[in-house]
Amino acid sequence: MMIKRPFFWMIVATVAVFAIAPLVGGIGVRESLFLAAIYMILALNLNFMIGYTGYVNFGSIVFFGLGGTLGIFAITVWGWPLWAALIGAGVVVAGLALLLGLGILRLRGAYFALATIGVVEATKAFVSNFDPFGGSTGMYISFSAYKPLGGAREALWVAYFLLVAVLGISLLLSFWIKRSRFGLGLFAIREDEDAAMVLGVKAPLFKAIIYSVSSVLPAIAGVLFFFKNGVIQPEQAFDLTLSIEAIVMLMLGGQGTVIGAALGGFAYEQFRGYLLTSSTFSSFHLVIAGALLLLIVLFAPGGLIGWAHERWAITRKVLE
């Protein structure tokens, strides 16, 4: 059923471009696309909470950071191969998110948003103090960890293609959830949680499941990011700013839409890269990004895709 829709083929094309472009363009293109893919994965998975369910998760970065920390711990200390660390981190983070979700998703609105900030800060403070994870200096990956993949240079390519795969899964999952009965339940919760429960949507269960689902792929992306990075530090892994930047990406593209989240992540990376490298704007990048965010919030809360949907009715049928 999904194959017949044009959007499915747009996803396939996007993944194909991500896979082929660095082979043609070289390492510079790969580095830029690697970061873009990370941003897109964060935005797409955050979209499950904010766009689909209507719960403002300010602390989505905790999944990315915790996944990275656990995965790198498994690789460096226990000597696990990369694939096992990826699966292990994904499973453990999903389990923790499910338990946590059953607790904090009882809160609504602003209270939930504050609780998610608390979760990030508590986890960051714990990891910075927990000596097996290297404390505040973090963990380094020795070159021997890259050996099984054929050396450091090849390992970077492997990490990149795995990340593109995670991006593809994120896109397909977003599309599938949006079209499923489960997704419809989430939309009902977003519109009016009490009414949805009266109509038989198991809201607490649905919320906990989607919270857990939204944690798996960022956790795996976290392992890949820090595996490629070679070092993981708590300050960098649990960076609340990146968490909020993910919301900015979502707003930029258009929350609640798959293409909006993906486009927002990609555009934000390009925009940020441009501001940081341009000589006139580099010191003002925070100011410009802030002003842009303010303009979106005040005047175009639907983002790029919301704006397009309003203008051209046809886009609603094609762009999910």
Partner 1 sequence: MTGVIVSIINGLLLGAIYGLAAIGLTLIFGVMKVINLAHGAMIALGMFALYLLVSWLGINPYLAVPVVGVGGFLMGFCIYWIAVHRVIGRAELMSLLATFAVSMIIVGVGTVLWSTSPYNVQVDMPGLSIGRYTIPGNHIVAAVVAILVAVALYLFLYYTRLGKAIRAVASNRQASELMGIPSTRVLAIAFGIGIGIAAVAGSLIATLFPFTILSGASYELKSFVVTVLGGLGNPAGALLGGLLLGLIEGSVSPFVSVSWTPVIEFSLFVVILILFPAGLFRVGRGR
93 within 8 A of 70, measured Cβ to Cβ: yes
Among 83, 143, 274, 284, binds partner 1 (CB under 8 A): 284
What are 140's strand-pairing partners? 231
CA atoms within 13 A on the CB side of 25: 12
* 242 touches partner 1 (CB under 8 A): no
Among 15, 43, 224, 251, binds partner 1 (CB under 8 A): 251
58 within 8 A of 118, measured Cβ to Cβ: no
Cβ proximity to partner 1, 129 vs 180, nearer residue: 129
Stretch that binds partner 1, among 49-57, 158-166, 174-182, 195-203 (CB under 8 A): 49-57
162 within 8 A of 151, measured Cβ to Cβ: no
Cβ proximity to partner 1, 142 vs 283, nearer residue: 283
SS (H, E, C) 197-214: HHCCCCHHHHHHHHHHHH
Cβ proximity to partner 1, 88 vs 306, nearer residue: 306
* 261 touches partner 1 (CB under 8 A): no
Instruction: List the interface residues with partner 1, window 101-140 (CB under 8 A).
Output: 103-104, 106-107, 109-111, 113-115, 117-119, 121-122, 124-126, 128-129, 136
Cα–Cα separations (whole angstroms), residue 64 to 142, 153, 248: 21, 24, 17
Instruction: List the interface residues with partner 1, window 173-232 (CB under 8 A).
Output: none
Among 16, 17, 20, 297, binds partner 1 (CB under 8 A): 297
Residue with structure tokens 């009715």?
313
Distance CA 17, CA 3 (A): 19
- In 3-state terms the chain splits into helix, strand, coil percentages (rounded to 5) of 80, 0, 15
Cβ proximity to partner 1, 46 vs 319, nearer residue: 46
Give phi and psi for 57, each to the nearest 5: -90, 105
Residue 2: CB atoms within 10 A of its CB come to 11
* 42 touches partner 1 (CB under 8 A): no
* 267 touches partner 1 (CB under 8 A): no
Cβ proximity to partner 1, 24 vs 110, nearer residue: 110
Closest CA to 90 of 213, 228, 240, 269: 213
Among 12, 21, 56, 172, binds partner 1 (CB under 8 A): 56
* 286 touches partner 1 (CB under 8 A): yes
- Note the residues at the interface with partner 1 (CB under 8 A): 50, 54, 56, 58, 103-104, 106-107, 109-111, 113-115, 117-119, 121-122, 124-126, 128-129, 136, 240, 244, 247-248, 251, 255, 283-291, 293-294, 297-298, 301
